Structure 1
Amino acid sequence: MLTYPNKGDKLFLGSTKTYCVVGDLLGDGGQGRVVQVMLDGQPYAVKWYHPYYHAHDPGLYERLRQAIDQGAPNASFLWPIETVSSPDVSGFGYLMRLRDARYRGLSDLKWGKDHKRYVRRTNRILATIGYNIAECYQCLHLKGMCYVDLNEKNVFFNPADGDTLICDNDNVDFDSQAKLEVGTPGFMAPEVQRGEARPNVLSDFHALAVLLFELFMLHHPLMGRASLKYPIEDVGIPKLFGTNPVFIFDPKDDSNRALASGEHPEAAFAGAIAVPRWRVLPSFMQDLFVKAFGDGLHTPQARVTEGTWRRAFLRLRDLTFPCANPDCGNDNYFDPERFKSQPGPPKCAYCGQPLKKPVRMRIDNRLVMMNLGVSLYPYHIDSGRPFDLAKPIGIVAAHPLKAGVIGLRNLSDTNWSSTLPSGESVDVPPGKSALLETGVTISFGRATGEVRR
């Protein structure tokens, strides 16, 4: 009997006579190999397990069946559709959607511009990815499940819009009965790393925080100067991630602080790349990471939840604005205190050119940068819909005839009312635009926005 299916073989779905036909090999990993298949004229993927993996994970088949019966938490999960088997091949696998070639792995964000796998990133796209990741795992947890082995290899993103896909969903288990003893060093919660607890939702919260920190800082949150003391494969992993974890930006304990570039010959391994990124990260985001890797390291119940991350990433996304230097193309975070405290305008974190204060709108306690192409969503104007991004209600657009003049086009189905600095009131019906100039206010019905420039 064969060990793996070959190209052209038929794999049968569940206990039915429906089959898919094996195509090209897509990848080979520690658990199994992934092949493309055709089913009813459409491409899918099948993960077929290595023979030895069955003994390593005896509850795998039962867990897969539970996941299939439960259904995907949301459309971002490349979820098991059905188990597959063949009378001519030992073992089994599962059918899933085929990942679109446009999606890239999170590790690709770490490559420099001279590498073939380099992906251009903006802070707005990163905030969108962070939001989507947190939303995915909140949906998973709300179904009573935990991911168990959350790490950077499980997440893929579309560089164009930040859309996110979650793979390797055969690791998922029900939180109340999780038995799988797996995990990726550096992502496992300290109590799991020490062998004191099994993976659960609270350990997922830790792994999620690590993933989000690496997304923005491109470095691990617990690998500072203390990591240079140990051989990471031997003593380093249990000490840094289990028995003595300390955040590299801990405001009270500098024993493992990140080393700046040039401070040590091996500063690159101790957080040098994260130092400049941390300095420009708004304080509310810094506070969340300090909480996640402060109290959260020792008290699982104190970890940052997915809903808190989602709110923070929407706020962060709203604060991004582009550098005015046409040769730069990067975006920065608007920090009112930075503009007030410095004698001159703050400089772009990437090219060093002075930043031009952006057009912005204050909607209740929310600040939104009015960049060309930016959309407003229901969450901006309705506190009862904090995560509603389904359909934009407005978009910032340039005036068709007047250079430098921008407006907010009404994409909703209700009338807005705009008040100009002169006191004149102007109706803004659907399809029309409200001027975005200092002193203008726009009433959206449930909320009012004030424009500043």
Structure 2
Amino acid sequence: FVEHPTDKSNRPKKLDVPYSVLGPYLGELFLKAFVTGLHAPDERPTAQEWERALYKTWDLLVPCSGAKCSHGWIVMHDASLRKCPTCGEKLHGSMPVLSLRSESRPGQWTADGELAVYADGKQAQALYSWHVMRGAPRAEGADTTRMGYFAFHQGKWILVNEKLTSLKSPGGNHVPQGAAVELVDGAQFMLSSEGNGR
């Protein structure tokens, strides 16, 4: 592993794009597979861990606006990351990252995912059942009905409700289908009031 944290014997003189640009979920598994698990196969990540990390990383992808970018997407895992690690294109404007939380015990909410928000005129981040409900299937064959989408409207980021039946605003008011919730830093709102809702 050329990026081993202590063994630099395989490190190239120039490392243009480090593994860390893939974000925390995949980055952790790279270290687990190629450092702690290198000589200890039982310490290596399972296929299920890789799949989970890939899904979580997918939720952090935002499009790169660089016309000549060979990758086209950036893993938005760090708010201070303001340029594409591949082409160097600077990111403009704000891009919210939602912290998804689910109730592990009554009144106790635990972070269990993130969702990077984008909308660039051609495409926009969508909200699906696996974002709304903890434990909703996400693998092949999962329900891909769009529950809502994000937009940058009149200088504000909003979540437009398409199919959510119990979306509540930060003030606790019901947000009907067709209406929107503004995304404000620090605001907390309920995507679903069902038992496993986020």
Determine if the TM-score, normalized by the shorter chain, exceeds 0.5: yes
Q: Distance in 1 between matches of 2:190 and 2:51?
A: 26
Contact kept in structure 1, 2:128 and 2:144, CA below 8 Å: yes
Shift of 1:282: 2.0
Q: Distance in 1 between matches of 2:97 and 2:61?
A: 10
What is the letter of the counterpart of residue 375 of structure 1? A
- RMSD between aligned alpha carbons? 3.0
Q: 1:394 to 1:434 in 2, by over 3 A?
A: farther
By relative contact order (CA 8 Å, sep 6+), the higher-ranking structure is: 2
Q: Percent identity?
A: 27
Partner of 2:106: none
Shift of 1:319: 1.5
Q: Distance in 2 between matches of 1:277 and 1:249?
A: 8
What is the letter of the counterpart of residue 254 of structure 1? K
Partner of 1:301: 42
Partner of 1:361: 98
**Higher percent of residues as helix:** 1
Q: 1:447 to 1:327 in 2, by over 3 A?
A: same
Unmatched tracts of structure 1, length 5 or more: 1-246, 262-271, 340-344, 449-453
Shift of 1:252: 3.0
Partner of 1:70: none
Aligned to 2:73, which of 304, 322, 331? 331
User: After the TM superposition, which parts of structure 1 deviate over 6 Å for at least 4 consecutive aligned residues?
Assistant: none
Work out whether 1:249 is the aligned partner of 2:3.
yes
Contact kept in structure 1, 2:83 and 2:89, CA below 8 Å: yes
Q: 1:442 to 1:394 in 2, by over 3 A?
A: farther
Q: Distance in 2 between matches of 1:439 and 1:286?
A: 27
Contact kept in structure 2, 1:394 and 1:408, CA below 8 Å: no
Contact kept in structure 2, 1:393 and 1:410, CA below 8 Å: no
Q: Distance in 2 between matches of 1:303 and 1:438?
A: 37
Q: Distance in 1 between matches of 2:88 and 2:34?
A: 31
Q: Which has the larger radius of gyration?
A: 1
Partner of 2:17: 276
Aligned residues: 176
Shift of 1:387: 3.0
Aligned to 1:313, which of 41, 54, 57? 54
Partner of 1:288: 29
Q: 1:326 to 1:403 in 2, by over 3 A?
A: farther
Partner of 1:429: 176
Contact kept in structure 1, 2:168 and 2:189, CA below 8 Å: yes
Shift of 1:315: 1.4
How do 1:341-420 residues align onto structure 2 when only pairs under 5 Å count? 346-356=82-92, 357-364=94-101, 365=111, 366-372=113-119, 373-385=124-136, 387=138, 389-398=142-151, 402-412=153-163, 414-419=165-170
Contact kept in structure 2, 1:398 and 1:404, CA below 8 Å: no
Q: Distance in 1 between matches of 2:82 and 2:144?
A: 34
TM-score by length of 1: 0.34
Q: Distance in 2 between matches of 1:294 and 1:439?
A: 37
Partner of 1:442: 189
**Corresponding residue SS for 2:174:** strand
Shift of 1:431: 4.0
TM-score by length of 2: 0.70
Q: 1:319 to 1:406 in 2, by over 3 A?
A: same
